[in-house]
Amino acid sequence: MFELLIVDDEKFVVHNLATTYPWEELGITAVHTAYSAKEALQLIQYENIHIVITDIRMPGISGLELIEKIRALSGKTKCILLSGHSDFSYAQQAVSSGVVAYLLKPVKEDELLHTVRIAIEQIEAAWNEIVSQQRTLYTLSEHLPQLRGALLNDLLQGKYIPPQTLDKKLLMYKLQAKRDQQFVMMFVRMEQGFSSYDDYSRSLLEFAITNIGEEIFGEQFYLWQCKDIYDYLVFVIMPKTDHAANRVHDEQISRKVLEKLSLQLQDSVVQYLKGSVSVLLSDWGRFPEQIYPYYQNAISIIRRHPENVQGFFISSIHDNEKQPAEFQPLRSLYQPPLLVHLLEAGRWDAAVQKLLDIIRELKGRKSYIYEYVQETAMALRAAVMQTVHKQGLPLEHLAAAELLGMPEHEAAHSVDSLETWGSRLILSLQEHALKEAKGSHHSSVQKAQQFVHSNLEHDISLQSLADHVYLHPAYLSKIFKLETGEGVSDYIYRLRMEKASYLLIETNEKIHEISKKSGYPNPSHFSRVFKKYFDMTPEEYRSKEV
């Protein structure tokens, strides 16, 4: 649950604190060690360290300097200072640095455990405040524009949101939209006068256009807006009051009102922002089921009108070039996340489910089936090839490479054959990825174990072990635990105790000699860790076994 880091340039102190204290009783699941501030900072960048116990006087970067750097990297990490000197100035600096406590060496076990317990309580209290309802609601209100925009973009891209979930989000985000409510969509594309601005300045202009829209439409309508994937400003416009709803009930009147306000928006942008915009108004539709098809239709119309210097205005109800209703893009194929993103992320179950969703939609289509099947096959083929190539491998390394070599008309001549072919392709890619990962992990762990066996009597740090196998310490720690079920430090500790046990029984060597051969230069420290492991001192163990 919590992870602890112990930092001291005296190695026997680090070993003693790491191996002889009952940290697990406090809910600490991992104890990391470092023999310098530099090594500690490297660990903190890649491990989720909750508590740091550090000496105050170390070569290079001192304990106080280390704490300041930790604050910059992770403000929630709690720090405890240890010092062999009762120096008031140090204590003052420690207090100003916000440490949990300033303890004098040699620190008593009860005192240190009590201090760590206080640090854990402070961490839990801070997180309880973060997740409290009041804080959550405050954070929600701070991010309402982004959340509203993200929700509208999901609907525009055809993402399925269960009705109950959608209702909750609409209520939580304080949106006036309701299911089956009438809406009109307005699209705004920035034209002449805006192309020379950088991204930041352009975002400010987009914000200004949104404010102008609110001012113009706000008396009669609610506006819900976002910026879509094509950099268009998209507004969902809904009647604001019952009075307004009566006024817009007649479609002809409603078109005239909306067209008048839209033209007013265009004129205001020219007058106040010195640039032109193109505007398109959709038909009236029902929320939310017609959001996606209306958006697709509007995008198709906009694409048929290239960028215009002065800006244009289109009311789509008068546009006679609409796509035939029976030929629309496959919604499930292009709804994010895309197949290629799922495969690259190794989300195999989600990729299979997406394929099944596409198959389900295909079975519901009544025409152009062959074209849709070929479109899906090409998309899946491209996604698999891109995923394999990004791993730096040729396709021949894939077990089912022959599937990719099949012509589209053979791989996907029907919906059923597409499902079979696609499922096999995804499964083959998954098996290849798992095999590659397992082989790589196993080899690295084996090399690490051989290094430990050969260097038991020397100092072995996680960093030196990671350097030997050319991996990052945090990554080596994780794959070692996955492969062996044992942490690196536990593995080293066990091997050293087994070696010490053997030497105590099979040889007449003195305790201090066995201590050194087992990797503990300090005999007293060796006795403590041995007693913790065997529940008796080395002398008692030898007497009992012999």
pLDDT at 372: 87
Mean predicted confidence (pLDDT) in 361-382: 86
pLDDT band at residue 391 under the 50/70/90 scheme = confident
pLDDT at 244: 46
Between CA 287 and CA 224 the distance in angstroms is 12
DSSP state of 57: -
Which range is least confidently modeled, 389-398, 450-459, 500-509? 389-398
Exposure on the CB side of residue 450, measured as CA atoms within 13 A: 8
Arithmetic mean of pLDDT over the chain? 85
pLDDT at 149: 95
Highest mean pLDDT among 188-202, 244-258, 357-371, 494-508: 494-508
DSSP state of 182: E
Mean predicted confidence (pLDDT) in 79-85: 84
Joined together, the tokens standing for residue 344 give 């690259």
Between CA 133 and CA 540 the distance in angstroms is 58
Residue 29 Cα to chain centre, angstroms: 23
Mean predicted confidence (pLDDT) in 131-153: 83
Exposure on the CB side of residue 176, measured as CA atoms within 13 A: 15
More confident residue, 134 or 332: 332
pLDDT band at residue 455 under the 50/70/90 scheme = very high
Which range is least confidently modeled, 168-182, 203-217, 328-342, 432-446? 432-446
The residue behind tokens 């007449």 is 508
Report whether 103 contacts 110 (CB < 8 A). Answer: no
Q: Under CATH, what is the fold of the domain 455-545? A: Arc Repressor Mutant, subunit A (1.10.10)
Residues 6+ apart with CB under 8 A from 5: 31, 32, 33, 34, 40, 43, 44, 47, 49, 51, 52, 53
Residue 454 has pLDDT above 60, yes or no: yes
Q: Under CATH, what is the fold of the domain 143-318? A: Alpha-Beta Plaits (3.30.70)
pLDDT band at residue 225 under the 50/70/90 scheme = very high
From 282, 287, 311, 313, select the one nearest 299 (Cα to Cα): 282
Rg (CA), the chain: 33
Mean predicted confidence (pLDDT) in 84-103: 70
Which range is least confidently modeled, 134-138, 364-368, 515-519? 134-138
Residue 264 has pLDDT above 50, yes or no: yes
Which range is least confidently modeled, 70-74, 407-411, 439-443? 407-411
Residue 426 has pLDDT above 50, yes or no: yes
Mean predicted confidence (pLDDT) in 99-127: 90
Mean predicted confidence (pLDDT) in 21-35: 90
Question: Rounded to 5 degrees, what are φ and ψ at 34?
Answer: -150, 145
pLDDT at 243: 45
Beta bridge partners of 81: 54, 102
Residue 280 has pLDDT above 90, yes or no: yes
Residue 79 has pLDDT above 70, yes or no: yes
Report whether 294 contacts 213 (CB < 8 A). Answer: no
Q: Under CATH, what is the fold of the domain 2-131? A: Rossmann fold (3.40.50)
Highest mean pLDDT among 45-54, 79-88, 363-372: 45-54
Taking the alpha carbons at both ends of the chain, their separation in whole angstroms is 42
Residue 246 has pLDDT above 90, yes or no: no
- Digit-coded pLDDT (tens) for 396-420: 766 666 667 665 556 667 888 889 9
Mean predicted confidence (pLDDT) in 159-175: 92
Considering the chain, what percentage of its residues have pLDDT values greater than 70?
A: 88
Instruction: Tell how strand 101-104 and strand 78-83 pair up.
Output: parallel
pLDDT at 546: 63
Residue 4 has pLDDT above 90, yes or no: yes
pLDDT band at residue 442 under the 50/70/90 scheme = confident
pLDDT at 48: 87
More confident residue, 191 or 166: 166
Between CA 282 and CA 182 the distance in angstroms is 12
Mean predicted confidence (pLDDT) in 173-190: 92
Residues 6+ apart with CB under 8 A from 66: 7, 37, 40, 41, 52, 54, 58
pLDDT band at residue 324 under the 50/70/90 scheme = very low
Between CA 390 and CA 383 the distance in angstroms is 11
pLDDT at 496: 93
More confident residue, 402 or 22: 22
